[in-house]
Amino acid sequence: MGISLGEGEAITKRQNKNQDSQDNRILACYEAIKNQPYAAEVYEELGDVCYSQGQIEKSIRSYHKTLAVVYAKLGKIYFQKGQLEQAIAYYQKVITLEPKSAAIYWSIGQILQQQGRLFEAKIYQQKALEIKPDLMIKSYALNQLDLKVTSYLTWENGFFIEAGANDGISQSNTLYFERYKNWQSILIEAIQELVEKCRINRSKSVVENYALVPFNYGQDYIKMYYCNLMSFVDGAMESEEEKKFT
Both 89 and 148 in a single domain? no
In sequence order, what are the residues at sequence separation of 6 or more whose Cβ sits closer than 8 angstroms to the Cβ of residue 97? 64, 65, 67, 68, 71
Instruction: From 38, 70, 99, give the residue that closes a domain.
Output: 99
pLDDT recorded at residue 239: 57
Distances (CA, A) of 33 to 11, 29, 46, 52, 121: 33, 6, 10, 20, 31
Residue 158 CA to residue 182 CA, distance in Å, equals: 7
Both 76 and 148 in a single domain? no
Domain-located, residue 25 = yes
Domain-located, residue 134 = no
Both 86 and 170 in a single domain? no
Both 150 and 93 in a single domain? no
More confident position, 21 or 43 = 43
pTM confidence score? 0.50
End-to-end CA distance of the chain: 93
CATH of the domain at 85: 1.25.40
CATH of the domain at 170: 3.40.50.150
Domain-located, residue 236 = no
Domain-located, residue 113 = no
Q: Is the pLDDT of residue 13 over 50?
A: no
Domain-located, residue 167 = yes
Boundaries of domain holding 164: 142-221
What is the total count of domains within the chain?
2
Residue 127 CA to residue 180 CA, distance in Å, equals: 20
Surface-to-core class of residue 202, CB atoms within 10 Å of its CB (0-12 exposed, 13-18 middle, 19+ buried): buried
How many CB atoms are closer than 10 A to CB 157? 8
**Of the candidates 154, 95, 150, 174, the residue with the CA atom closest to the CA atom of residue 127:** 95
Q: Is the pLDDT of residue 187 over 50?
A: yes
